Amino acid sequence: MTQFTSATDSVSIAITGSGGAGAITAGTLLLEAAGKAGWYGLMTRTVGPQIRGGEAAALVRLARRPVSGHGDRFDILVALDWRNVERFVAEIPLGPQSIAIADDDAGDVPEKIAAYGALNVTAPFARLAEDIRGARPNIISLGTVAALIGLPEEAMIETVAATLIEKKVSLEECSQAIRAGYDIGVQLAATYGAAGALKLPEPKSTSGAKPERWVITGNQAAGYGALKGGIRFAALYPITPATDLLEWVAPRFAAVGGVLCQAEDEIAAVQMAVGASYGGVPSLTTTSGPGLALKLETIGLAVCAEVPLVIFNVMRGGPSTGIPTKSEQTDLNIALYGLHGDAPHVVLAPLSVEDNVLTTQWSVHLAETLQTAVFVLSDQLMAQAKSVIPAPKEVDFGTRRLQPVEPKAGVYKRYALTESGISPMAIPGTPGGQYTADGLEHNERGTPSSQANDHHSQLDKRNKKLEAFDYGALWAEIEGEADAEIGIITWGSTSAPVREALARARASGIKTRLVAMRLLAPARPVQLAEALQGVKKLLVVEQSHSGQFLGYLKAHYDLPVAPESLRHPGPLAIRPSEVCDILSRWS
Amino acid sequence: MTQFTSATDSVSIAITGSGGAGAITAGTLLLEAAGKAGWYGLMTRTVGPQIRGGEAAALVRLARRPVSGHGDRFDILVALDWRNVERFVAEIPLGPQSIAIADDDAGDVPEKIAAYGALNVTAPFARLAEDIRGARPNIISLGTVAALIGLPEEAMIETVAATLIEKKVSLEECSQAIRAGYDIGVQLAATYGAAGALKLPEPKSTSGAKPERWVITGNQAAGYGALKGGIRFAALYPITPATDLLEWVAPRFAAVGGVLCQAEDEIAAVQMAVGASYGGVPSLTTTSGPGLALKLETIGLAVCAEVPLVIFNVMRGGPSTGIPTKSEQTDLNIALYGLHGDAPHVVLAPLSVEDNVLTTQWSVHLAETLQTAVFVLSDQLMAQAKSVIPAPKEVDFGTRRLQPVEPKAGVYKRYALTESGISPMAIPGTPGGQYTADGLEHNERGTPSSQANDHHSQLDKRNKKLEAFDYGALWAEIEGEADAEIGIITWGSTSAPVREALARARASGIKTRLVAMRLLAPARPVQLAEALQGVKKLLVVEQSHSGQFLGYLKAHYDLPVAPESLRHPGPLAIRPSEVCDILSRWS
Amino acid sequence: MDGCTSKLEAKHYKSDVTPIWCPGCGHFGIQAAVNRAFAELQLDPAKVVVVSGIGCSSRIPAYTTCYGFHGLHGRALPLAIGLKLARPDLTVLVAGGDGDGFSIGGNHFLHACRRNVDLTYVVMDNEVYGMTKGQPSPTTAPDWDSDLQPGGTGISAFRPLGVALQSGANFIARGFSGDLNGLTKLIVQGIKHPGFSFIHALSPCVTFRPEEREWKTLTHASGEAITSDFQEASRRIAADDGLTTGPLYAADRRAYAPPVAPLRDTKTNLSHIQAEFRL
Amino acid sequence: MDGCTSKLEAKHYKSDVTPIWCPGCGHFGIQAAVNRAFAELQLDPAKVVVVSGIGCSSRIPAYTTCYGFHGLHGRALPLAIGLKLARPDLTVLVAGGDGDGFSIGGNHFLHACRRNVDLTYVVMDNEVYGMTKGQPSPTTAPDWDSDLQPGGTGISAFRPLGVALQSGANFIARGFSGDLNGLTKLIVQGIKHPGFSFIHALSPCVTFRPEEREWKTLTHASGEAITSDFQEASRRIAADDGLTTGPLYAADRRAYAPPVAPLRDTKTNLSHIQAEFRL
Ligand SMILES: Cc1ncc(C[n+]2csc(CCOP(=O)(O)OP(=O)(O)O)c2C)c(N)n1
Ligand SMILES: Cc1ncc(C[n+]2csc(CCOP(=O)(O)OP(=O)(O)O)c2C)c(N)n1
Ligand code: SF4
Ligand code: SF4
Ligand SMILES: [Mg+2]
Ligand SMILES: [Mg+2]
């Protein structure tokens, strides 16, 4: 049994406090400052039940290389106060090497925090803030963090000043505040020797142009991908954690010519998207679990009537209303199997914040090309994570919706049986292309039919167009060693911790092969078999209680060996060490 | 490769005609007369697209032993006319031994009928009807059928007379009409030698009391089972082919004290049922595919808030609006996996018209005992089939909803973590039992919680109560030889043709083992493994295009061998010979 | 039709698909009126979309030579709204039954009235669910006996005109399938009127409500001129016996139009958006 | 509470669960009024069920000591109807937000008014989606700017009282969360009145609509006596500025009751039904 040590090329900081303490603001500023300093990073947040003004924590991870997920534990915890921290303490694991810095006034360290066995210290954030105009404890604490992790003081000061200028705080005052905190950090490092351990190593000097980096959330990345894909109509009914995707798109539609509609309910939203798409405009609807449930009947209509449609679903804790603000990978079943009847469709899932751009753009391409419903399954974790990422590559998927050439009225077969299964689709306004789109089973003309042969041939066609299509290499991200005997399959935002675990394994000389699936339906058994050739042990990793992904793999693939399942429900993310534990057991 | 011959202990008759010809009436009378004569039988119908007055066919199968499904082909086709018969000719297969009797005036035999190669003859039904007061061609043809199949003339006459008395037709006139047809039958038999071949063999003389028999449709059987199970509240939004279940229940609720509510839509219907059940009254909602899609969000609420609920879904052709009047087994996926999040629930399926009584009664027991949502998946074929069945056995499932004993307000834990996973549920009105049922994740008290430990323990509990429960022998009907090496798994109304195929195989000395599953979720892998012990070849039979049942089995069971799949979509039922073909290939 | 010079007649809007309707069904009359209205307006069938839900009535799109969408039960309106917002150049007519529009589709009806997108909505009201064989609909009288609700629903009937008015419909009228000329006129007016036009069209179900054949003698023209006064319309509706036909109310609210029309141009330069993200 | 002799006070209906509401949220006032109304009626908390959907407002059941059902967004009414039909002995109060009740729940609102089951429905209207952080609701003015709809929706606001009246609500009133006495009275009246009672309760969202704090000064009592005349109620509603409070309309339609109440007796003899099937 091998024990891997975790990578030390990143540092994780949690900042917590009750409503008004500014934990989230501090986290955001920290991420921005890191960006300014040329680093990469990721920030997620966790909140209590209060609508506004309740306790919250910013969870930040920073590195000199791209970061897609959180690590095993937080190196630094800044507690502006301890109020209600027990509501999400499980989401902020600390280790014995971690340092928890509480404000002088915060009072006793809560039991569950103490239980982590980290180094607990206090600092006079609040007291110092009193003496500096415009400063608040959260800002002071940023200086301390900067000192501990080796983030240039200037980057921190500039970032804070850019924000506080609105509140008429001067650059001088900002730098005073940050410096005050910085001094504490330096002292702490000197006293406890923590600083060296936490400082990110200097980068190897690289010549040439610095790579372009973006600051973006997953939902923004998806919105941008949708625009790139050509979405020009979007309808929604608001629901957490999906709403902010179209809140981002709304003002930007003005620039590209798009129509956004807030519908009276989810059913109306998806129906509007189907109507607009039938009219020839690429369309999308956004939602989350409970809303997705309501949209299924209409999605089935899009499948049967062969109307392109993108359904962007941001997963949250389920079942039912569940845990709206937390992440889980448990809308996989409903997306794969939630339509009544035999209704083949496409299911995609982005693999990281940045992959939302590519995957969403691809989803539009597939919906338009295949004239079907395409689900995209994001999750709260990546959707609302803010990340500094490498600028996404430009991709062009080329051709789109197949249209008939000079169709003849009364003869045009909207649902013609073709070699590819894809039939030219007339857009209203096209003379001679008149047909009636129908959710009743129909013949090639579109006329309702309950005859066995029509039903069978249309079922064949709708299946074939998806099965026969060439999805190319995008179906999965595959990495690792070709001769590895350990295979791992995962999907969605869980890919990040799995990738990290594999990097550690590699560093320890353990070979593995990872398949992180972007295309979940239709299943690609031939491709997976190829990707897993030679694998003797197989691990399936997912964030669910029942093992939805595991069941899906068993149903649609011939796995080379019986897989082991690593899974647990949200809100806790899968940690790299959980994967490592299994790999070390296996090696 | 062995060829089995089909059983000759049953006879199948199709009667077809355009609107107003009375094909369905004739079929119904034929079934009733057979019942009167002490026979068993089954009648289904197939209709064209017209709402009223369009072409239709009655498909009748009769035998001296219980009959649950149709055979490979029809022995006798009576065509009162040929109009639009091509709309469902595929559903009326004939063989070279079959006889097709058309009215003299019907005109040319349609191509597709001729292609079956049956014996085509004509008879003067319409002409004879002109001469007998009150007689119509369909009634005359019943005499002919009776003569051919050996159904006592008296039973036929009595049955017809009992119906026509309303129209003031005398017994004498009825017997004249039937006799006129009978004579044609005798002649046909004499001319073509058909009669002997089609006559049902005489029963072995049995001493003792005749077994009690009922005439019932699948939906009526389900309604009766629901009443037996204790359902006293039902809500629906009308949809074919489910509506007639509650149309049967509606007037009978008056006798037992039940409330029926036609809601404004499917969502309201299922919500009403949840509300009534929360109030302590066992509740049910009925629907079909498109309506089921709309109910999913609320079903997930019942699972999360742990409110007993029965969802009776009659499957029809899908996807989308599909083929409302035809049967298919393709709502399996949506029932198993259609809820968002991890939402464990129960899925049952009756195996025949008569099994609707037991399965529906059981569904109420399971919903009440396990405080969860129970789906029952019937299908159009069995739901609307009228059948002469042996009287169902009386079953009593015993105890019901667990209630707290003198709960104390402010202390009572509605969602207590118990050994069985089942927590005592207070009914409003119970002093001290006050709690708020919630679809948000919650702690044991029911207070919303987004904490990892509460989520995990409630997920565990909701899963455990279903997994740990002892479902006994009812999970499946198992038959065949203990040492058989061929196993077959099937479900729902497809069980009937599969059973028939196995009987033929047995007659040819081929051993098989059949598992017809009544309980589909939670999966019972241990029980299935036991049932299939020693099996070397495995066949999975279902009426779907994509193989939903196959995928389900692969996902949740460790099958002893890779199964072969026999499947096709509706509206054509699986025929016994399709199963036999595979068995003979295997032996 | 050959070429765009010839005048279009009602028959040019009639497709070769045979209706599934029972002989004598009121829906035939509505279909005829719709076709006549299209002809009167000389609409190009390739630029008209007829959108419906599910029901006997909702089968109407395939019986025209226009584009059509036979969607889901109760959901015709939002689909039509999406379509019209995406394609303001098309004429969109929505049609369907009383069950489709007022029962399962009630919420969309409310909000379509509010939203005031330029559509015409014809509800073919037979006070019953025809297609599912005779259950009461929201407009069914409370004492109508049926298998599902023996002795009647006991619930007072839905008031389509009153709800439409309160919800903001821009044009409101009632027609009768048996009055072809009158109904044609109303549909023409509805299509011409900007914003959301609602036409309540009585249409007997001869199979499950044979007594509705009597509507032929019971319906009566309102005689009053159309009003644009909310209060006055409100008063008339309150006094209405449910069988009064004719145009009732026309308001002058501007039809809803989205801030920007969709470009349908996927090559739009997104560089200004990229700039937002760039560090 | 100990024993049934002691008098119940408002505080006895307040549970120990801390509301998630923002300080100053109008919903606190509604909660207080509900508790006071229960106390005034001396309702046994074990015989009251508070049913809601999802939203800030909809959190109210758990804050009472009664039975509660915090169900799905927009679906409180049909759940409550099923409950009341199954258990006519209980007092059922339904509460929730404007998004919950008028947007996604609009159809259930229409049909609950028609159905006239004996319920009281309190809509806590803040003209915004509070819980999802500030999107417009049906009652939001068309020009209210938000992230999702920059510049406003451009759609005229939903008229709750008018739609309730047209749909058949049996009792209609408007209250304001800041007027505790007035609102308490309305809720008491609503509960006492048979059939479906609708109380439109204005309730500022201080976080996303801080300007609604002004309702304190803008709301004004109607001054007119409650009417049972449909036309008169219709007239008043048409003239209403949306901030008029007080009881408005009370009709005397009999509350809907099903033909037979549910027995909850599973041992009922079914032999007469078996006889129907026997050959
Ligand atoms: C979601 C859904 N629920 C129910 C049905 C069944 N259904 C089909 S048509 C119909 C009612 C039709 O009544 P109406 O709209 O009044 O039209 P009509 O047939 O009377 O013209 C119903 C309930 C369905 N197809 N889909
Ligand atoms: C089916 C579904 N759609 C959307 C949501 C998200 N959601 C939760 S509360 C809410 C709106 C709440 O607004 P309102 O009812 O006015 O209550 P308020 O918070 O303003 O009191 C929405 C859209 C949901 N939970 N379920
Ligand atoms: S059932 Fe009624 S509505 Fe349907 S086609 Fe026949 S007459 Fe018309
Ligand atoms: S967001 Fe608005 S409605 Fe919600 S609790 Fe806060 S103030 Fe109240
Ligand atoms: Mg109707
Ligand atoms: Mg609100």
Q: In which order are the strands placed within the sheet that holds B486-491?
A: B476-480, B513-517, B486-491, B537-542, B564-567
Asked if C278 is an interface residue toward chain A (Cβ–Cβ < 8 A), one would say yes
What is the distance in A from the centroid of ligand 4 to the CA of B125?
78
CB contact under 8 A, D166 and C168: no
Same domain flag for A357 and A487: no
**Percent of chain B clearing pLDDT 90 (strictly above):** 89
Q: Which of A292, A300, A322 sits opposite B320 (nearest CB)?
A: A300
CB contact under 8 A, C148 and B260: yes
Same domain flag for B493 and B417: no
CATH number of domain containing A35: 3.40.920.10
Please name the helix (run of DSSP H) or strand (run of DSSP E) that holds residue B249, with its range, or none. helix B243-256
Parallel, antiparallel, or unpaired: how do β-strands A10-17 and A283-287 relate? unpaired
For residue B205, the model assigns a pLDDT of 60
Q: Specify the residue with its C-alpha closest to ligand 4, atom 5.
A: D21
Collapsed DSSP state (helix, strand, coil) of residue D273:
helix
CA distance C176 to chain D (A): 23
Taking only the tens place, the pLDDT of each residue in C155-185 is 999 999 999 999 999 999 999 999 999 999 9
Q: Which of D46, D68, D264 sits opposite B437 (nearest CB)?
A: D68
Same domain flag for A305 and A335: yes
Question: How far from C223 is each of A494, B178, D231, CA to CA, in Å?
Answer: 70, 61, 22
- Based on the structure, what is the number of domains in chain A? 4
CB of C186 closer than 8 Å to CB of C30: no
Backbone conformation region of residue C250, classed left if phi is above 0, alpha if psi is from -120 to 50, else beta? beta
Same domain flag for B178 and B228: no
- From the CB of C227, is ligand 1 less than 6 Å away? no
Is the pLDDT assigned to residue C262 strictly greater than 80?
no
* Range B293-322 burial, b when 16+ CB lie within 10 A, else e: bbbbbbbbbbbbbbbbbbbbbbbbbbbbbb
* Residue A1 banded pLDDT, cuts 50, 70, 90: very low
* Contact residues on chain B for D47, CB-CB shorter than 8 A: 428-429
Domain spans in chain C, listed from the N-terminal domain onward: 11-275
Please name the helix (run of DSSP H) or strand (run of DSSP E) that holds residue A387, with its range, or none. strand A386-390
Is the pLDDT assigned to residue A76 strictly greater than 80?
yes
A559-585: average pLDDT: 96
Dihedral (Cα; B262, B264, B267, B269), 10-degree rounding: -10
CATH number of domain containing A480: 3.40.50.920
Nearest ligand 4 atom to the CA of D26 is: 8
Is the pLDDT assigned to residue A20 strictly greater than 90?
no
Full 3-state SS string of A185-253: HHHHHHHHCHHHHHCCCCCCCCCCCCCCEEEEEHHHHHHHHHHHHCCCEEEECCCCCCHHHHHHHHHHH
Parallel, antiparallel, or unpaired: how do β-strands B564-567 and B537-542 relate? parallel
CB contact under 8 A, A260 and C258: yes
What is the distance in A from the centroid of ligand 2 to the CA of C116?
24
DSSP letters spanning A314-349: EE-B-STTBBTTS-----HHHHHH-SSSS---EEE-
For residue B1, the model assigns a pLDDT of 44
Q: For residue C273, what are the contacts with CB-CB under 8 A and spacing of at least 6?
A: A224, A227, A252, A255
CA–CA separation, A314 and A325 (whole Å): 11
Same domain flag for B316 and B439: no
Quickly tell me which residue has 């303001």 as its tokens: C88
User: Among residues A434, A452, A469, which one ends one of the domains?
Assistant: A469
Same domain flag for B464 and B491: no
CA distance B43 to chain D (A): 16
For residue A410, the model assigns a pLDDT of 85
CA–CA separation, C116 and C214 (whole Å): 34
Collapsed DSSP state (helix, strand, coil) of residue A453:
helix
Is the pLDDT assigned to residue C5 strictly greater than 80?
no
CA–CA separation, A470 and A466 (whole Å): 9
Same domain flag for A227 and A309: yes
Neighbours of A255 (CB within 10 A): 15
Neighbours of B147 (CB within 10 A): 25
Question: How far from B147 is each of A87, A340, B22, B121, CA to CA, in Å?
Answer: 81, 45, 20, 16
CB contact under 8 A, A436 and C68: yes
Joined tokens for residue C19: 């209706």
Neighbours of C143 (CB within 10 A): 9
Neighbours of C55 (CB within 10 A): 26
Q: Please check whether residue A210 lies inside any domain of the structure.
A: no
Asked if C74 is an interface residue toward chain B (Cβ–Cβ < 8 A), one would say yes
Residue B9: half-sphere exposure toward Cβ, Cα within 13 Å: 13
Same domain flag for B256 and B371: yes
CB of D203 closer than 8 Å to CB of D175: no
- From the CA of C22, which ligand is nearest? 3
Q: Which residues line ligand 4 (CB under 6 A)?
A: A 51-52; D 21-22, 25, 27, 56, 126, 130-131, 205-208
Same domain flag for A420 and A512: no
CB contact under 8 A, D20 and A51: yes
* Residue A8 banded pLDDT, cuts 50, 70, 90: confident
Q: In which order are the strands placed within the sheet that holds A537-542?
A: A476-480, A513-517, A486-491, A537-542, A564-567
Question: How far from C182 is each of A214, B328, C187, C201, C236, CA to CA, in Å?
Answer: 63, 45, 9, 11, 19
For residue B51, the model assigns a pLDDT of 84
CA distance C161 to chain D (A): 9
* Residue B340 banded pLDDT, cuts 50, 70, 90: very high
Q: Specify the residue with its C-alpha closest to ligand 1, atom 4.
A: B239
Joined tokens for residue A221: 């990345």
Same domain flag for B268 and B340: yes
Taking only the tens place, the pLDDT of each residue in A21-75 is 999 999 999 999 999 999 999 999 998 888 888 899 999 999 999 999 999 999 9
Q: Please check whether residue B2 lies inside any domain of the structure.
A: no
Is the pLDDT assigned to residue B195 strictly greater than 90?
no
Same domain flag for A412 and A352: no
Please indicate whether residue A7 or residue A260 has the higher confidence score (pLDDT).
Answer: A260
Q: For residue D25, what are the contacts with CB-CB under 8 A and spacing of at least 6?
A: D56, D130, D203, D204, D205, D206, D207
CATH number of domain containing A344: 3.40.50.970
A264-287: average pLDDT: 98
Full 3-state SS string of A129-191: HHHCCCCCHHHHHHHHHHHHHCCCHHHHHHHHHHHHHHHCCCHHHHHHHHHHHHHHHHHHHHH
CB of C169 closer than 8 Å to CB of C143: no
For residue C2, the model assigns a pLDDT of 46
Backbone conformation region of residue C195, classed left if phi is above 0, alpha if psi is from -120 to 50, else beta? left
For residue C3, the model assigns a pLDDT of 46
Taking only the tens place, the pLDDT of each residue in B93-150 is 999 999 999 999 999 999 999 999 999 999 999 999 999 988 999 999 999 999 999 9
CB contact under 8 A, D158 and C104: no
Q: Which residues line ligand 3 (CB under 6 A)?
A: B 51-52; C 21-22, 25, 27, 56, 126, 130-131, 205-208
Collapsed DSSP state (helix, strand, coil) of residue B351:
coil
- Among C52, C191, C66, C201, smallest CA distance to C120 is for C191
* Residue A204 banded pLDDT, cuts 50, 70, 90: low
Beta partners for residue A94, in sequence order: A74
For residue A504, the model assigns a pLDDT of 93
Please name the helix (run of DSSP H) or strand (run of DSSP E) that holds residue D272, with its range, or none. helix D271-277
User: Among residues B469, B493, B515, which one ends one of the domains?
Assistant: B469
User: Among residues B453, B469, B485, which one ends one of the domains?
Assistant: B469
Low-confidence ranges of chain D (pLDDT < 70): 1-5, 263-268
For residue B332, the model assigns a pLDDT of 98
Taking only the tens place, the pLDDT of each residue in A469-524 is 999 999 999 999 999 999 999 999 999 999 999 999 999 999 999 999 999 999 99
**Percent of chain B clearing pLDDT 70 (strictly above):** 97
Q: What is the CATH number that goes with domain C11-275?
A: 3.40.50.970
Radius of gyration of chain D (CA): 20
CB of A476 closer than 8 Å to CB of A532: no
Same domain flag for A442 and A500: no
Collapsed DSSP state (helix, strand, coil) of residue B553:
helix
CA distance C229 to chain B (A): 32
Domain assignment of residue B222, given as a range: 217-389
Collapsed DSSP state (helix, strand, coil) of residue B95:
strand
For residue B287, the model assigns a pLDDT of 98
- From the CB of C177, is ligand 1 less than 6 Å away? no
**Distance of alpha carbon A99 from the chain centroid:** 29
B357-363: average pLDDT: 98
CB of D228 closer than 8 Å to CB of D159: no
Quickly tell me which residue has 């959907």 as its tokens: D53
Neighbours of chain A (3+ CB pairs under 8 A): B, C, D
**Percent of chain C clearing pLDDT 90 (strictly above):** 91
Q: Specify the residue with its C-alpha closest to ligand 2, atom 26.
A: D73
CA–CA separation, D47 and D8 (whole Å): 14
Nearest ligand 3 atom to the CA of C126 is: 3
What is the distance in A from the centroid of ligand 5 to the CA of C55?
7
Taking only the tens place, the pLDDT of each residue in A352-369 is 999 999 999 999 999 999
Is the pLDDT assigned to residue B342 strictly greater than 50?
yes
Joined tokens for residue C52: 């419906």
Q: Which amino acid, one-letter code, is at B201? A: P
